[in-house]
Amino acid sequence: MMSNPYRSFTTMLAAFVVIFGVFLSAVSYWFISHELIRETSGLTRNAVVTYIESLPDAKKLFEQSAPHGSSPDQADGSAAEDGPSSTEEERLLADIRAAFDPYGIKDVRFVNLDGRVGFSYHPLKTGNTLTGRERERFDRAMHAGKMLADKTSSDLNLWLPISSDDGTLIGAAEVSKDWSAQSAKILKISLTIIVLLAAGMTLLFF
């Protein structure tokens, strides 16, 4: 029968192996997730910035002044005077989706300096003013002057400050990217690491 000192030592060693394995697994998961977020965010930012830089007048993306149907001038269904017509919006939406869909971007909004949405994948959001958490994220990104990333379980949301040709900030692009594929990849890699660590720790223990 195992003596008490040896039993205590074995129990402590087993606890250490478990705790160390959990710690390494958590660190590995954080590192992989962090690196994937950084890489994905960089690729997404480059795609959005490159597209905007290719436009002859990027400021038009930020110029819608009122929500659809909220202006008296639009009672007859016509577009606002300073906003794009419905045909132009449809053409612009198709053009933007053709440029962004290959990157897994599922939603885009262009927000001007006043926090008003000038363009959105969802027409009903165009012209609305940001409030609450969205406004807070927008203000933080604009104040910092750099990209702000916010990951949920299924999406990676990015706020990208946008500047005109002369370097003046004209607003920000909010980009929502599908994160499900990356989440599955992180989970698969993490599970592999956990299995290898568990096998290695078990061998060391015995």
First to last CA, the chain: 17
Judge whether residue 1 has pLDDT over 70. no
Judge whether residue 9 has pLDDT over 80. no
Q: CA angle at residue 86 from 72 to 173, to 5 degrees?
A: 95
The mean of the pLDDT values for the chain is 78
68: left (phi over 0), alpha (psi -120 to 50) or beta: beta
User: pLDDT tens across 190-203, in order?
Assistant: 778 777 777 776 77
Judge whether residue 85 has pLDDT over 70. no
Domains defined along the chain, listed by start: 4-71+82-205 (3.30.450.20)
The pLDDT of residue 190 is: 74
The pLDDT of residue 34 is: 82
Judge whether residue 182 has pLDDT over 60. yes
User: With the C-alpha atoms ordered 25, 26, 28, 33, is the resulting torsion angle positive or negative?
Assistant: positive
Judge whether residue 16 has pLDDT over 50. yes
The pLDDT of residue 65 is: 47
Query: Under 8 Å CB-to-CB from 151, ≥6 apart: which residues?
Result: 33, 37, 157, 179
Amino acid present at 76: D
Q: What does the block give as tokens for 70? A: 């909220």
Query: Under 8 Å CB-to-CB from 118, ≥6 apart: which residues?
Result: 60, 61, 62, 63, 64, 110, 111, 112, 126, 171
pLDDT-derived band at 54, boundaries 50, 70, 90: confident
144 contacts 169 by C-beta, under 8 angstroms? no
Phi/psi for 147 (5° steps) reads -65, 140
pLDDT-derived band at 84, boundaries 50, 70, 90: low
pLDDT-derived band at 59, boundaries 50, 70, 90: confident
Q: Give start and end residues of each alpha helix (H) in the chain.
A: 4-54, 86-100, 132-144, 180-205
82-88 average pLDDT score = 63
The pLDDT of residue 61 is: 83
The pLDDT of residue 138 is: 93
d(CA 206, CA 196): 16
More confident residue, 150 or 74: 150
User: pLDDT tens across 137-178, in order?
Assistant: 999 999 988 898 887 767 888 999 998 878 888 899 999 888
